[in-house]
Structure 1
Amino acid sequence: MARHHHVRRLVPLVVTGLLLAACGQQQAGETPAAAGEVTELAHVHGLGVDPADGALYAASHHGVFRVSDGGEPVKVSETQDTMGFTVVGPGHFLGSGHPSPDDTDRPPHLGLIESTDTGRTWRTLSLSGEVDFHALEAKHGQVYGFDSQTQQVMVSTDRKTWDRRARLSLADFAVDPADPDTLLATTEQGLARSTDGGRTFTPVPNAPTLLLVDWPAESTLVAVSPDGTVQRSSDSGATWTSAGSAPGAPEALATRGPSEIYVATDGGIHRSADGGASFTSVDG
């Protein structure tokens, strides 16, 4: 997953900048490493924990990496700009994005792609050439995505046919684990809630400035502000409290239960085991 949202002037600039930067092409002079090689991890678009073994995976501008605590990230996938990213189950990932610059056989937008071998190989499921998901979630037997091309929330029950729903400028969204119709989205205007499966959204009053959001347990939300401050809610987003702060500008967020939090920033990937009160580096 995941980015986030609001504040009158600052947040629209932050959100727009993150979304545009995430879509950038490989810079001149960069040489992508082959799968399995150790290489520097940067421009992280999504994080996810494999329930098979608790391993952390980072989807980036140059492919998917396995991140070991204290060790160097190891690239596991081909070099593709993996934008939207979510872990469905053991070894099972969904993604979206763009092919590598030297891959001329695929369209510029990959649509929905799937890996069942922890990111080593990918296949197209749907929407090839049509959609560039910048946020993805798989819950309640459905896949929820945000298409950066049309700025629409899209939902599928079979990963092939899609229902296009609300159109809004969002940075990130999360789905209630207890209710398939309830979503929270971080937008340029502030935190917004949907209770009809993403067809309509209404503002959440008095919410803090947020950029990234995750919903690890019923009623429990974890979010990150543009400055890296962790925000928590125990009442489904009605009220929020501040915890600690991840160092650097946030790029992606993942949780493993309500207390274990991973935040990717421009300075690396950081882990908290105490609900965001403190962080340590996990990527060397």
Structure 2
Amino acid sequence: MNNKTRTITHNRFSKLVWIILLTLLIAGICFYFLSKKDSDVSFEDIHGIGYTKNGNEILIPAHDGIKEFSAGEWKDGPGEKNDYMGFAMVNDGFYSSGHPAAGSSKPNPLGIIRSSDKGKSVNTLGLEGESDFHLFAAGFNNHALYAYTPQPNSKMDSAGLYYSLDGAKSWKKSKMTGVDDEPTGFAVHPDKNSVVSVSTKDTVLISNDFGKTFKVLYSKPQITALSFTFNNSLLVGGFEVKATLSEINLKNESTKQIKVPPMSEDAIAFIAQNPSRSQEYAFATYKKDVYKGTEHDWKQIVKSGNSTTGK
């Protein structure tokens, strides 16, 4: 075999090797995308949690839009991937605040927004381009809105707590008498629009007069989460050596402890009760773990920001 023949044979062999490698690479990429499930959802951060009215879906707002858990699997929600803050579920959708997705035509910040289709479409209710509410809450059935602003805007003439009973068209200021420390969280009674609770770093307070006056309801070295139930009680996440979850009966102010899974140097950041199954809860932690279930049967559905199945 002469040198010219050897060169041609070598070139043909090299091309064949590259074709085989390219084919394997393409096949691997195709296999990855074909095998990748819709439930492979990741959470850069978690800004809230809530159940839909039927109790069959859990929605979590994140830096890149709504994440939905349904039938044991996670998927990205519809619509723009807005950075939702101050997320509040209601019986026919959610209210929120935050910042628009990259490339969105919406003003930044979003002001107060409303969606009735899991974020597929978003309606602006006011204060767009002005305010971003991190402390914001809504009554699940009554849609009473409460917002805490650290600075004035066009509808709130000074810092403090405000409430609206007409879908954010008008706002009234609450005096917050009795609250002597910086608020860290708010929750609104699902049915009684005058009942609002506020947490500080170590205290839970409640008001029955639209936030005009508050009284101390519960104290703990560290309060981490706050949410009303649908049976006239308050869920309070806390931390004292380990994570805790307490339920306060608002009728007699008695407190009971709810068992939670073991957590290593972590605590509940957001919690919600299932509207259809009162014994079921869902909560997210500061380390981006998410659990759902009852105190006797918890299932982890997010671990360190990565989704898992939870059937």
Pairwise TM-score range, normalised by the shorter structure: 0.7 to 0.9
Aligned partner of 1:194 in structure 2 is 207
Report if the CA contact (8 A) 2:80-2:120 is conserved: yes
Unpaired stretches in structure 1, ≥5 consecutive residues: 1-35
Secondary structure in structure 2 of the residue aligned to 1:86:
strand
Work out the CA distance in 1 between the residues paired with 2:206 and 2:52: 28
Report if the CA contact (8 A) 1:85-1:94 is conserved: yes
Aligned partner of 2:130 in structure 1 is 130
Report if the CA contact (8 A) 1:194-1:200 is conserved: yes
Larger radius of gyration: 2
Aligned partner of 1:145 in structure 2 is 146
The partner residue of 1:49 within 48, 51, 71 is 51
Aligned partner of 1:82 in structure 2 is 84
Secondary structure in structure 2 of the residue aligned to 1:132:
coil
Work out the CA distance in 2 between the residues paired with 1:230 and 1:205: 12
Report if the CA contact (8 A) 1:132-1:149 is conserved: no
Report the AA paired with residue 290 of structure 2.
I
The partner residue of 1:240 within 255, 261, 264 is 255
Aligned partner of 1:95 in structure 2 is 96
Secondary structure in structure 2 of the residue aligned to 1:57:
strand
Unpaired stretches in structure 2, ≥5 consecutive residues: 1-37, 152-158, 302-306
Aligned partner of 1:261 in structure 2 is 281
Aligned partner of 2:186 in structure 1 is 173
Task: Give the alignment's Cα RMSD to 1 decimal.
Answer: 2.8
Question: Could you give the per-residue CA deviations for residues 25-61 of structure 1, whole angstroms, max 9, x where no partner exists?
Answer: xxxxxxxxxxx89531231111111124621111112
Aligned partner of 1:228 in structure 2 is 243
Report the AA paired with residue 186 of structure 1.
S
Report if the CA contact (8 A) 1:39-1:75 is conserved: no
Moved more, 170-179 or 192-201: 170-179
How far residue 133 of structure 1 moved from its aligned partner, in angstroms, is: 2.3
Secondary structure in structure 2 of the residue aligned to 1:204:
strand
* TM-score, length of structure 1 as denominator length: 0.74
Work out the CA distance in 2 between the residues paired with 1:210 and 1:217: 21
Report the AA paired with residue 271 of structure 1.
K
Query: Does residue 250 of structure 1 match 2:268?
Result: yes
Moved more, 138-147 or 196-205: 138-147
Report the AA paired with residue 124 of structure 1.
T
Aligned partner of 1:164 in structure 2 is 173
Work out the CA distance in 2 between the residues paired with 1:164 and 1:100: 31
Report if the CA contact (8 A) 1:44-1:61 is conserved: yes
C-alpha distance 236-154 of structure 1, shift in aligned 2 (>3 A): farther
Aligned partner of 1:115 in structure 2 is 115
* TM-score, length of structure 2 as denominator length: 0.69
Report the AA paired with residue 132 of structure 1.
D
Report the AA paired with residue 56 of structure 1.
I
How far residue 122 of structure 1 moved from its aligned partner, in angstroms, is: 0.9
Report the AA paired with residue 74 of structure 2.
E
C-alpha distance 63-85 of structure 1, shift in aligned 2 (>3 A): same
Question: Could you give the per-residue CA deviations for residues 154-207 of structure 1, whole angstroms, max 9, x where no partner exists?
Answer: 211222211122466322222234533222211135111212111232323556
C-alpha distance 183-138 of structure 1, shift in aligned 2 (>3 A): closer
- Identity among equivalent positions (%) equals 22
Report if the CA contact (8 A) 1:37-1:75 is conserved: no
Work out the CA distance in 2 between the residues paired with 1:237 and 1:45: 32
Report the AA paired with residue 118 of structure 1.
K
The partner residue of 2:162 within 151, 154, 169 is 154
Work out the CA distance in 2 between the residues paired with 1:132 and 1:228: 29
Where relative contact order (Cα < 8 A, 6+ residues apart) is larger, the structure is 1
Report the AA paired with residue 279 of structure 1.
W
Report the AA paired with residue 164 of structure 1.
K
Work out the CA distance in 2 between the residues paired with 1:236 and 1:73: 39
Report if the CA contact (8 A) 1:65-1:75 is conserved: yes
